A and B are shown apart, each in its own frame.
Chain A
Amino acid sequence: MLYINIWRKGFAKVMSDKGLLSKIYKESLAAVLWYSPSGWSCSEMLQSIIKNVWIPMKPYYIQVYWEIWVGIRLMGFIICKIRSADKKNKALKGLSPAPAHGHH
């Protein structure tokens, strides 16, 4: 809430003071975009993921496991087909009129 209030104040100042990006606006924008109350910023998390995961695993993800990505795409295709068939089935059930008499 503090960061949202800072942002609102900054925004109000910018709106009142045209043509100038005030210091409050810059800092509040940085606070909203990059810094969380826990102190561990999104940019630091992203850098940590890239340094510890992507860089060591890059040859695996790109060359070695290339065929597994094909399998993941195949699995995604199967999931899409199942979901669309389920949606069509539900739509058809909704459109079809309810039976006049109960089942015996």
Chain B
Amino acid sequence: MNENLFHSFTTPTLMGLPAVALIILLPSMMYPSPSRLINNRLTSLQAWLVQLILKQLMMAHNTKGQSWSLMLTSLILFIGSTNLLGLLPHSFTPTSQLSLNLGMAIPLWAGTVVLGLRNKMKKFLAHLLPQGTPTPLIPMLVIIETISLFIQPLALAVRLTANITAGHLLMHLIGNATSMFITLSLPAAPTTFILLVLLTMLEFTVALIQAYVFTLLVSLYLHDNT
């Protein structure tokens, strides 16, 4: 039984040392590296999945953008596997921490911005003003577009944090309610249990969708700047 509702969001420590580094490294140990020409079933399935993700993400990019394939594929696999592992009971989800998500979002977003400024300055500056804007509105729109540009990494990080945290919190609440209803009012317990099962299924999809959305948005920012 958890001490309180937010116990699962506190950074775990092992004898006083932060265990977060080990938890973040864990998903990478679960992916077997293909070492032969014809691999076993699991490695072949993994290779098929990676190829599917790669095709979906990188088809719209030019050569410059496709050099980020490794980064974006690693990103989606890391976030997806971390989110799914966090759905195990009593586990810690690193992507529920805003610090980690900002640590991923800011360098990637800044990388795309610097890439755009270096290689396609005119195109980058042109994005700050939508096409067909009336002349009196131009100054205001440029300011609004600049603010929206700087909000992009914050939105990326907060979206992922909020979705994962909210889902886990809801699961805790409904799980606690179910266990309380078993003792207080037995007929109400199956309803909350069914709700919990449906919510868990939703959380599985949210875990994968959020990983896809994060990576897709980074890919979109990259596409705008290459």
Residue numbers of A with Cβ under 8 A of B are 60, 64-65, 67-68, 70-72, 74-75, 78
Contacts and interface: CB of A to CB of B under 8 A. Distances in A.
Contacts of A74: 106-107, 110
Contacts of A71: 106-111, 114
B contact patch SS: helix
A75 B68 CA distance: 20
The main secondary structure of chain A at its interface with chain B is helix
B106 A64 contact: no
B102 A67 contact: no
A64 B64 CA distance: 9
Contacts of B103: 75
**Interface range, B side:** 10 to 19
A61 to B, nearest CB: 11
A19 B226 CA distance: 65
16 contacts: A60-B70, A64-B67, A65-B111, A67-B110, A67-B111, A67-B112, A67-B114, A67-B115, A70-B110, A70-B114, A71-B107, A71-B109, A71-B111, A74-B107, A74-B110, A75-B103
Contacts of B67: 64
